[in-house]
Structure 1
Amino acid sequence: MNFFANVYTHRKVAEGSAKGCEICFKPTTSVLITPENKDFFYICPNHLKDRGFATPIVDKAAEEAKKKKAAEEKEAKIKEEMERVKKEYDERQKKKKDKKDKKDDDKDKDKDENDKDKDKDKKDKKNDEKEKDKDSKDEEDKDEKDKTPENDEPRVFALNKHIYLQRIEKKKQAEIAKRNRERLANPGFFPSVPKGLP
């Protein structure tokens, strides 16, 4: 008898195809299925989180690839942010130089304007820092939203030893029942009535 490996992939089905969970009998759209499609059963997503029922099989290569990709994206965002800040800083410096050139002409007004400029610069810096903080918080929120629970959840599971043995036993019983039905349907299965006299 050819049995299936203890490797189940978590899949979703349409709402109309929902059936009762194997454990709690509540309607569910989550299905665990073997790669060869030899065995499948409906299961609630909450049961998949239970370590006593199934343990996730983590693909280390895929995990490392995900981490590497995330690090590269983060690095690219940081570089973009640095370039943007540098441009803003350069623009401010140009504006200050232009203002200083104009101020040299009017030294009397210079003292009053410097005080005002300093106040403005301080206010601008505070506003810029607040905007940067908001931008960084918004980016972090977007990153967290991009990580949907589906992406973080494992897709491949290994059932608990006892549950796996129950699945195998259930498959055996189903095959035996099928074989018995086929035998009963076969007319040569039952003995024929004796034709001679006793």
Structure 2
Amino acid sequence: MASFQNVYTHRKVADTASKPCEICYKPTASVLVASENKDFFYVCPGHIKDRKFCTPIIDEAAVAAKKKKEMEAEVEKVKKEFEERQKKKKEKEKEKDKEKDKDKESEEKKDKAKEEDGETEKQKQTDETSIPEEEPRVFALAKMFYQQRIDKKRNAEIAKRNRERLQNPNLFPQVPKNFP
């Protein structure tokens, strides 16, 4: 009948399309949508974070893949930095061998290199802070709320079926045509 899985995806709608929350009736733009769009309802983000209302469904494989990808990216970043430092060291050694008289220029280059190293460290810090933690997007409702959603859908289907029956002229008995 109105059976669907207890798997809801959190989505945002435009602020102009916001409707009242199913629980507290405040306007909200957050929607929980059941699989295959069989059910949806508006709910405040505060209610989504409430563990007694719903719990996040975490995909362990996706989390592991994400961590592995982050580790690989970090390793690549460290390798690049190491290679850059090695190149700078080689350039400095070559410069020292060629021109020992130009101490002033080499000091300026060292200062520039230190500034560049400082800038790369600042970029690392900004990169780490700019990546927000993703909020879970898939949830399972608590038993009581899930049962309410199923009951609501079932009652809506029953009401629809009753309306269709009442519109059918064959439902009511006909007036007798013969005299007794």
TM-score bucket (shorter structure): 0.7 to 0.9
1:93-172 equivalences under 5 Å are 93-100=93-100, 102=101, 120=107, 124=110, 128-129=113-114, 131-145=116-130, 147-149=131-133, 152-172=134-154
1:31-59: CA deviations, max 9, x gaps? 21122221111122222111111111111
> Cα offset for 1:99?
3.3
Matches within 5 A, 1:38-77: 38-77=38-77
Give the superposition deviation at 1:134: 4.0
Distance 2:23 2:45 in 1: 11
Structure 2: distance between partners of 1:130 and 1:167: 60
Aligned equivalents of 1:33, 1:16: Cα separation in 2: 19
Rounded to whole Å, the distance in 1 between the matches of 2:121 and 2:113 is 12
Per the alignment, residue 110 of structure 1 pairs with: none
Aligned counterpart, 1:84: 84
Q: Secondary structure at the match of 1:36?
A: helix
**Which runs of 5 or more residues in structure 1 are unaligned?**
104-112
> Which of 1 and 2 has greater Rg?
1
Residue number in structure 1 paired with 2:11: 11
Q: Name the SS of the counterpart of 2:51 in structure 1.
A: coil
| SS of match in other structure, 2:171 | coil
Match in the other structure for 1:107:
none
Distance 2:25 2:119 in 1: 47
Aligned to 2:23, the other structure's residue is in SS state: coil
Residue 23 (structure 1) shift: 1.6
Q: 1:7 to 1:81 in 2, by over 3 A?
A: same
TM-score by length of 1: 0.77
Aligned partner of 2:146: which letter? Answer: Y
> Aligned Cα RMSD in Å?
2.9
1:7 aligned partner, one-letter code: V
Q: Give TM-score scaled by structure 2 length.
A: 0.84
Q: Distance in 1 between matches of 2:89 and 2:52?
A: 57
Contact persistence 2:2–2:150 (CA under 8 A): no
Gaps of 5+ in 2: none
Secondary structure at 2:36 match in 1: coil
| Residue identity opposite 1:139 in structure 2 | K
Partner of 1:109: none
Task: Report the 3-state secondary structure (helix = DSSP H, G, I; strand = E; otherwise coil) of the residue aligned with 1:188.
Answer: helix
Distance 2:128 2:137 in 1: 22
- Most deviating of 186-195 and 4-13: 186-195
**Letter matched to residue 91 of structure 1:** E
Please give the secondary structure, in 2, of the residue aligned with 1:83: helix
Cα distance in structure 1, aligned partners of 2:13 and 2:177: 58
In 2, distance between residues paired with 1:74 and 1:193?
84
